[in-house]
Structure 1
Amino acid sequence: MRRIGHWDSESPSPEALRSEQPFAVDALEFYQWLQFIFIPRLRFLLEGKHALPDRCGITPMAEEYYRAKQLPVSGLLSALSEIDRLLNGPA
């Protein structure tokens, strides 16, 4: 995300981070949701040895968000796809 300029040095407002909409679409850009909500939440769960979600479908949202952006996102999409695969388990 840093390589494509989608990494913010400052956190969004507390109000934006409290959004209850899927992917916080009403308050954040998708990359901000990844950076400030999704990644920290996964880190919290992993470090605390908490149960991980048993379903994840982040890649389609990322593909949709980045479709028209003309950015080199194949590495990011690959990483998100791997997260989906790991959390969803065997098909």
Structure 2
Amino acid sequence: MSLSYYGSLLVKYRDHPLIPFAIANDQSGLFNDGYVILACFDGSDRSGDPRVYFHDYGYRGEDPAWDKRYNLDNFSAWLESAKEESAQYKEEPAE
């Protein structure tokens, strides 16, 4: 599946390559109606600390310009956000 997602991103974003490294895939539909969301490194950033962009397979609108897309500064910011989201997700079913 990793190669399939990576290949589809290469086709969709020819001028702005995204390199997926994490996936949210909740088949229950509780999160994002069951659609896959990929966290991706900015493949055109050679700084060693690239921004993280998200590709949402459930989004059906017009793609926003790159400067208006939701993104995080780097992997560290993504990891912190993922930890917080994971904790919230684990609390919700318990309530």
Q: Structure 1 or 2: larger strand share?
A: 2
Structure of higher RCO (CA pairs closer than 8 Å, 6+ residues apart): 1
Q: Structure 1 or 2: larger helix share?
A: 1
TM-score range for the pair, normalised by the shorter chain length = under 0.3
